Amino acid sequence: MRLPSNPWLRTAYARLWVRAKSIYGEPLWVAVNIGFPFFTSFSLTMVYRAYGLNSFTGFAILGGVMISFWGNVLWSMASQFNWDKQVGLFEIYISSPAPISAILVGMSLGGILGTAPSAAMVALLGWAIFHPPINAVWPAVISVFALTLASLYAMGMALSSLYLAYGREADSVNEALHEPVSLISGVYFPSTGGLSPFPLAVQAGASLIPLTLGMDALRRTLFFGQGFGEFYLDLELLALAVMGVALLFASSKALKFLENKGRRTGTIAVRQR
Amino acid sequence: MSSLRAMVASVRVGWYREFNWTNPLVGFTLRTVGPLASVIAASTVYYVGSINNVPPSFNPSLLAFILIGAALYAHVAAYSWVPTLAIAEGKWTYVFPQVYISPHSSLPYLTGRTLASFVTSTLTVIVSLILSFYILSSVFHTNIPFIVTPVSISLLFLAMVVNIFAALGLGLLLSAYALFATKFEWALPTYVAGLLMVFSEALFPVSSLPHPVSDVANVLPFTEFMRASRQAMIYGDMYSYFSYLGLAILGGIIVLALGLLAFRYAENRARRLGVIDKKTA
């Protein structure tokens, strides 16, 4: 593919290509990546089904799809710069003229492309095995899905700058974050709105996470037949868009701040703390 | 005796590896948050579904069933993959080749690391169970029918100890693969955790699975362990408890024997092929 000699675009494309190639160049990675989301989704779908709650089985399958992306955001976006720093790659990034924002965007797009096959497999297997009841407004589903991913990966970019400041605790923080965020975001059940069992304060706090709004909006469009023009759905779409832009801005500022601080103190390429 | 000393030293290495990067309280908290959240999530899935069912079908006994299963599944998943981790990580940090060249050390090393993780995971699961019990009772406004007496807690602990046989056996089976693997061994734990979630009656009865999968799941030592633990904490039938415990011991010994055989075979073969310190394909 030929790109105009715009360094930002060429950098983003290069980073996207590396990430996508790492998945598609080794198709076994799809089988590897599908393990956790599929089995978790399968088990929780079975919970709904074994106890006679068939109408909710789609929630757990959708959760399995979205947890693939959330895992990718945490492990391949948020902590990526930290790992890059450990192996000396971050030093090359900052000493080259490649814009960091382009690297992050390329990493995100590559991450989405790389996660898509395993997420699609979870969806297809879940649909084939359980036949969940669906009442979808597809244009709205596609828009919500795209906006959720954009917002989620923007959060990954913001977290990546935060993790850059961390040392070896990054992995432990990641492990500690994965489940609690899945819980309060309502990946497998509605954590906000009328069906949520959580107190209002918890729901309000959870709504600050893009995954929460995205999951709720996806459930509305996929299972409850809501489309554009529904007040709450439109509100969630707007909030997702605002969050995406704000997180992009925050990640850019935070990275710049850390880069400048690292240059001043001479610690930007220090590999272990 | 030297094997025992090596095992005790490995237990200490395991704890240092898990907690020495920070102060123990922070380390322990970070390790507890995940299991706690996953226990609450699984229980909430059932609660949300049953409350919004038409007509509502919420049953506190089923909530207790899921709560115990989710906590114990997380416990087993957390420590059964430690031998694999010890090998995979050890290859990258040059620890495992060093362990390997000291005589008769690999098995005590892996066992010690597993036992260290068992203790940590037992503590985190107990804290998760207590916290989730109180959080879910108050959020769902229900009484979760747990039997909380010194006897029931001792029986639960006994079941957890007995399950070490099966978990270590599973860990050694995976280690036999990890000795040769150079890239996908990191993904094994997620598969093991997922398979345990589905086939060990952690969240739903294995009879819900299709035949013959349900027949296989029905005789796994992990399933018997779950059943024994539920008898101790929910149903209180001593005869059933000891029956399930006996089956868990029997199954655990078989899995452990298989694990030992597989690991010994793999170790000899890996030595002949010279892949003990191999890191890339």
Q: pTM of the predicted model, to two decimals?
A: 0.89
CA gap B8, A264 in Å, rounded? 46
Hey, are the CB atoms on A46 and B203 less than 8 Å from each other? yes
Within-domain flag for A48: yes
pLDDT at A239: 95
Within-domain flag for A33: yes
What DSSP element (H or E) covers B7?
A: helix B2-19
Residues with pLDDT less than 50, chain A = 273
Q: pLDDT tens digits for B211-259? A: 888 999 999 999 999 999 999 999 999 999 999 999 999 999 999 999 9
Q: Let me know: does B276 contact B100? Beta carbons within 8 Å.
A: yes
Within-domain flag for A272: no
Within-domain flag for A239: yes
E-assigned strand segments in chain B: none
Tokens 């298989």 sit on residue:
B258
Would you put residue A270 in left (φ > 0), alpha (ψ -120 to 50) or beta?
A: beta
Q: pLDDT tens digits for B166-206? A: 999 999 999 898 888 877 777 777 788 888 889 999 999 99
Count other C-beta atoms under 10 Å from residue B91's C-beta.
22
Count other C-beta atoms under 10 Å from residue A78's C-beta.
25
Structure tokens at A83: 């790992």
Of B40, B53, B187, the CB nearest to A53: B53
Rg (alpha carbons) of chain B, rounded to whole number: 20
Closest CA relative to residue A174, chosen from A88, A96, A72, A247: A72
Q: List Cα–Cα distances, A141 to A59, A222, A244, B220, in angstroms.
A: 14, 6, 18, 41
- Terminal Cα-to-Cα distance of chain A (whole angstroms): 41
Domain extent for A74: 7-265
Mean pLDDT, chain B, rounded, equals 89
CA gap A58, B156 in Å, rounded? 35
Within-domain flag for A17: yes
Within-domain flag for A190: yes
Q: Which residue of B has its CA nearest to A200?
A: B139
Q: Let me know: does B172 contact B262? Beta carbons within 8 Å.
A: yes
Q: pLDDT tens digits for A143-155? A: 999 999 999 999 9
Closest CA relative to residue B65, chosen from B92, B96, B43, B88: B43
Which chain B residues have any C-beta within 8 angstroms of a chain A C-beta?
21-22, 27, 30-31, 33-38, 40-42, 44-53, 57, 62, 66, 139-140, 184, 187, 190-191, 193-195, 197-198, 202-205, 208-209
Give the relative orientation of helices B238-273 and B221-230 as an angle to the nearest 10 degrees. Answer: 150
Question: Looking at the 3D structure of chain A, how many domains does it have?
Answer: 1
Q: Let me know: does A118 contact A68? Beta carbons within 8 Å.
A: yes
Within-domain flag for A2: no
Within-domain flag for A221: yes
CA gap A238, A232 in Å, rounded? 10
